[in-house]
Structure 1
Amino acid sequence: MSNEADTIFYDVVMLRNVTTKEAAIHSLSEYLLKKGHVNEHYEHATIEREDTYPTGLPTKPIAIAIPHSKHENVIKQSVVLGISDQLIEFSEMGNSDSKLNVGILFLLALKGENGHINYLKNIVNYCKVEENIEKLYGVKSAEEALQIFVAEIVNAD
């Protein structure tokens, strides 16, 4: 994925006092909308998709979620990492009856399924390691999180 780094926008948003998955997706989607990276349908489509196909993963010690929308809502490919100071309830991928306390979100705004699959693989591989989750969730700033995100997840090939 390193060669895609020039064509995909990466950033981090520190989520403060966000307590629902809808509010978390809203904050991250709104950030991309203001930058002109997604259209006005992206947020609603992402929340709708999350309700139908949950993206929460039971990583330890804190769960993650990887919400995304269809490619037609994407203007400029982007991946935004959201780190929340509050744990947010998401349903578990593949088991919507199971609820997870999510503190880290990766909002994907990508074109084509291959992009999603590659990112999902890198994110899941990184987040399988408990120490990685602790390090990422323990960052003090968006800049620190972005450095970890790009170096250890995006360029993980």
Structure 2
Amino acid sequence: MTVEMENQQEDARLILNEDLIEFGLDVSNFQEAFLIMGQNFIKHKFVKETYPNALIEREKAYPTGLLTSSIGIAIPHTDPIHVIKGSMGIGVLKRPVIFKTMDTREEMEVSVIFMLAITHPSAQLKMLQKVIEIIKDDKTLLRIKESQNKKEILNLVRPFLEDIFNL
């Protein structure tokens, strides 16, 4: 199942599909998570081979961890030069891993990753805004964390993305 967005300001499509969703991701640190999730993007030719390592380097310089009222999440992204086709992936971790918060850079545990691969800065801002809407909804966020399959996760985020995605 694929969800595509036509961005009216640029001639770009943003992809979110089941192939870019990982649940029960068994990793011991954010680097492993980025490498595994990044390979899915590479496999589908959404990003260049440089994407996962670029994510790791950017995360070290500009952390993306965010503590919500229910769980810790991260929203990693990197420069458009590493992206072929705008897309988003979701990783639900088997157990939380350590990230740093985007504001204070303190260590925190993250359970869900919203990974962005964006080709245009305006699309990045729009996608970040939509992810923020998702994470403000504690019930949905907890349901994503507890999901048992990719289709369930996709269906949970769908209502938040309908106005920018062609469903």
Give 1:129 shift. Answer: 2.4
Structure 1 counterpart SS, 2:13: coil
Give me the whole-angstrom Cα distance separating, in 2, the residues matched to 1:103 and 1:64. 6
**Superposed CA RMSD:** 1.8
Contact 1:33 1:40 (C-alpha < 8 Å) held by counterparts: yes
Map of 2:98 onto structure 1? 89
Give me the whole-angstrom Cα distance separating, in 2, the residues matched to 1:155 and 1:56. 25
Query: Matched residue pairs, number?
Result: 154
Give me the whole-angstrom Cα distance separating, in 2, the residues matched to 1:57 and 1:155. 24
Percent identity between matched residues is 25
The one-letter code sitting in structure 2 at the alignment partner of 1:87 is P
Matched, 1:44 2:53: yes
Give me the whole-angstrom Cα distance separating, in 2, the residues matched to 1:64 and 1:120. 13
Matched, 1:115 2:131: no
Give 1:60 shift. Answer: 2.6
Give me the whole-angstrom Cα distance separating, in 2, the residues matched to 1:46 and 1:13. 17
Map of 1:155 onto structure 2? 162
Give 1:153 shift. Answer: 2.7
Deviation per CA, 1:4-41, whole angstroms, max 9, x where unpaired? 4x922213122432120000111111111111111111
Contact 2:23 2:147 (C-alpha < 8 Å) held by counterparts: no
Question: 1:22-41 alignment to 2 at 5 Å?
Answer: 22-41=31-50
TM-score (norm 1): 0.90
Map of 1:133 onto structure 2? 141
The one-letter code sitting in structure 1 at the alignment partner of 2:82 is N
Give me the whole-angstrom Cα distance separating, in 1, the residues matched to 2:81 and 2:42. 14
Map of 1:68 onto structure 2? 77
The one-letter code sitting in structure 1 at the alignment partner of 2:16 is Y
Deviation >3 Å, runs of 4+: 1-4
Give me the whole-angstrom Cα distance separating, in 2, the residues matched to 1:28 and 1:78. 12
TM-score (norm 2): 0.85
Give me the whole-angstrom Cα distance separating, in 1, the residues matched to 2:92 and 2:102. 19
Map of 1:124 onto structure 2? 132
Structure 2 counterpart SS, 1:88: strand
